[in-house]
Amino acid sequence: MGKSDAILLVFLISLVLNPTSALLPNTAEAKQVHVVSYEGIVNPVLAELMSTAILEAEKAQAEALILRLDTPGGLDLSMRDIIKAMIASEIPVVVYVSPSGGRAASAGAFVALAAHVAAMSPGTNIGAAHPVMMGGGEADEIMQEKMENDAAAYIRSLAERRGRNVEWAESAVLESASATEKEALELKVIDVVAKDLEDLLTQIDGRTVVTLKGERKLATADAEIVDHPVGWRIRILQLISDPNVAYVLMLLGTTGLIAELYSPGAIFPGVVGAICLILAFFAFQTLPINYAGLLLIVLGIALFIAELMVPSFGVLGLGATTALLIGSLMLIDTDLPALKISLSLIVPTVLLVALVFTFVLRTALKSQSAPAATGVQKLVGEFATARKDLNPAGPVQIQGEIWQAESNEPIVAGETVQVVAVEGIKLKVKKASQA
């Protein structure tokens, strides 16, 4: 029997045992579409989330990855990291601005335009991508022009790459143009307006996109929707990246460390303070910090410490509170409301910190500066029991020890006395009723 005859025999046997397996393709595995939902600013947390989601979707050979996005904008560096991951993706990435009332503003507009498919939910908007200076201070005219030209060139390249409206994309940067979902569809800024995920999958079914591996025709009509889980690590990072949380962590951390320095051995304030400061420093990497505001906060804390050591009659404390309040207001310099620290949080937090420094730490310093009671002097004020009559001297028992004591008045055996002084190895006592 030749080789070809053996192959034919195997085929015939498999056909007899399972007639459909040899004639029909394997359709047991349903197609999947992975979905990531994100609401918040564009920052390193979203960049890491998207990179992980793309890798997992590629590993699962999903038909597409959908990013449900609602953002007021965010950091340029994180935005570019997200776009790089999307362009390098082997599977189509769909950015779906959702839910109704959401937006893809500023950096979010760049991310949407970079997607293989851009979609919006009814009642959403996109645009207003004019670059702003972050990190403190105002950009001069030349620097502002450089920023605008760089951002305009970048968004033009993204729009050209995906076949979208280049003129509108440029106006979103240079003129802060914005559009509703209907206007964006008419202007060919986006590809689809979908009321929900099922509607989106139906509309993009059969659409051809170009990925890193070439053209690919989407087959999403009957695909299984798989939500990409956001792990606890990402959730924690997203939480502490909130400017309000980062601000509170910074003040808690600073207060805890200073409390530990002025009361060594407490341990708890130091440990909590160190953890809070480390988390705050991580969050500051994702926020547009104004270093003048940060220095004012440091100055305020230094003035609080000085107030504890120098009798300034409250002048240093008032200056510290003022510096802390102004520094808190200046700490984050951005036009994005989502990145600003709430004034309703700043005022009570500053007052609370002022109270902690003024009262708690002052008490700790007073206890440290008080003369230490060591040796036999610590017995002064303690109570003892007369072992025999004191008239005027006799033995007393105190803290399990027998001491010779002397009193200016008669003391009956068994009566309770209080130590008023220690003279060598003899105690001066008086009746406890007189204490």
DSSP secondary structure, 335-391, as one string: S-GGGSPPHHHHHHHHHHHHHIIIIIHHHHHHHHHSPP--GGGGGTT-EEEESS-BS
- Amino acid at site 247: Y
Residue 408: both structure tokens together: 């200016």
Coil/strand/helix, residue 332:
strand
* C-alpha separations of 321 from 101, 115, 124, 133, 302 in Å: 40, 48, 42, 28, 11
Chain Cα centroid distance, residue 234: 9
Q: Distance (Å, rounded) from C-alpha 203 to C-alpha 210?
A: 17
Q: Distance (Å, rounded) from C-alpha 112 to C-alpha 399?
A: 78
Coil/strand/helix, residue 300:
helix
Q: Are strands 32-39 and 401-407 parallel, antiparallel or unpaired?
A: unpaired
Sequence-ordered alpha helix ranges (H) in 35-140: 44-59, 76-87, 107-114
Are 375 and 318 in contact by the 8 Å Cβ rule? The answer is no
Dihedral sign from CA coordinates of 254, 257, 262, 268: positive
Residue 305: both structure tokens together: 């410490």
Q: What positions carry a catalytic annotation?
A: 106, 146
| Residue 263: φ, ψ to 5° | -140, 70
Q: Which residue has the tokens 């990179």?
A: 51
Taking alpha carbons only, the member of 79, 110, 87 closest to residue 97 is 110
DSSP secondary structure, 196-224, as one string: SHHHHHHHHTT-EEEETTEEEE---TTPE
